[in-house]
Structure 1
Amino acid sequence: MKNYKNIIKLYFSSMKSFDKIEKTPKDFGTGDLLYGSEIHTIVAIGENPGSNMTEIAKIMDITKGGVQKFTKKLLAKDLIYKTHLPNNKKEVIFGLTKKGNIAFKMHEDFEQRRFGKIYDVMYDMEEKELQVLEDFLTKLNEILCAGE
């Protein structure tokens, strides 16, 4: 017998756990407590140095207003800097400060410790199993997002 309710229950239980991780601020080696949105902004900038606000918004799949809010907080904590392109004084681009680079590297370590076992489980799965899982989650997200 297929147990649909248990699968959905397990999915939402894991989502609650992810949500708790995101909403609990952490120190990534700089002495600053950073929320998930802040460290993910640092990661987006660290992986895409010289990005502007529009590019960061696209990378993070959030609004430019959201990026502006997060970058303002990170600038105040001296984790990122902003500058202008030499040939375009209107265009603002972002980079990581020394502190920001520390947080960026510590986040990679955190992710490996926190999610390494999940990656190991997926590594041991057959390609077909991974495709079924990806297809299910894609369809689930489409259904859930359509209700917004």
Structure 2
Amino acid sequence: MKRYSKIVDLFLRAHNKFNLLESEPRDFSTGDLLYSTEIHTIVAIGEKPAINLTQLAENLGVSKSAVSKFIKKLLKKGYVLKSRPVGNHKEVIFNLTDRGKTAFKGHEEFSREIFGSLYDILENIADREIITIENFLKKLNEELDDIK
């Protein structure tokens, strides 16, 4: 058995568990059930207000057409506002409505609750090990980008 097969197996198991966690829509304190693509779009806008479509697609790691679909749903549900910056009639930017801000805060609470123990584990790992993990995940993402 290759020395890395255990790592690959553990990574895939964790990936499958994350997929299960992400597959269920959740209420983030708004009374609506939001899918992971919707709440992650809300979070990306909440973290960078006045973000444009291209930046949003890059941030989420998906195509601009996919982001357009997410945004249409969120506009219709009242979570996102679409506008144009002053002096720029071409660019479209996105911000959160009050409802979107509520969902954003609800997601922060959800993340603390669900991932708090993971954050505790990471806090107790040496800096050099964190760098190794980050490098592995960066390289993994680059490889996955090339597979498309």
The residue aligned with 2:117 is: 117
Structure with more strand by fraction? 1
1:41 and 2:65 correspond: no
Percent identity over paired residues = 46
Q: SS of 1:81's equivalent?
A: strand
In structure 1, stretches of 5+ residues that fail to align are: none
| Partner residue in 2 for 1:68 | 68
CA apart distance, 1:144: 4.6
SS at match of 2:125: coil
CA distance in 2, matches of 1:35, 1:114: 16
Q: How big is the shift at 1:2?
A: 7.5
Q: CA RMSD in A?
A: 2.0
Instruction: Kindly provide the CA deviation profile for residues 11-44 of structure 1, in whole angstroms up to 9, marking residues without a partner as x.
Output: 1110001111222111101111111111111011
Q: Work out the number of aligned pairs and report it.
A: 148
Q: Deviations over 1:41-99 (max 9, x none)?
A: 10111111111212211222221111100000001110111122232333221111111
What residue in structure 1 maps to residue 131 of structure 2?
A: 131
In the aligned structure 2, how far is the partner of 1:78 from the partner of 1:120?
A: 35
Q: SS at 2:121's partner residue?
A: helix
Q: What is the letter of the counterpart of residue 58 of structure 1? A: E
Matches within 5 A, 1:1-148: 4-148=4-148
Distance 1:128 1:67, change over 3 A: same
- State the secondary structure of the residue aligned to 1:94: strand
- Structure 1 counterpart of 2:7, one-letter code: I
Deviation at 1:147, TM superposition (A): 4.0
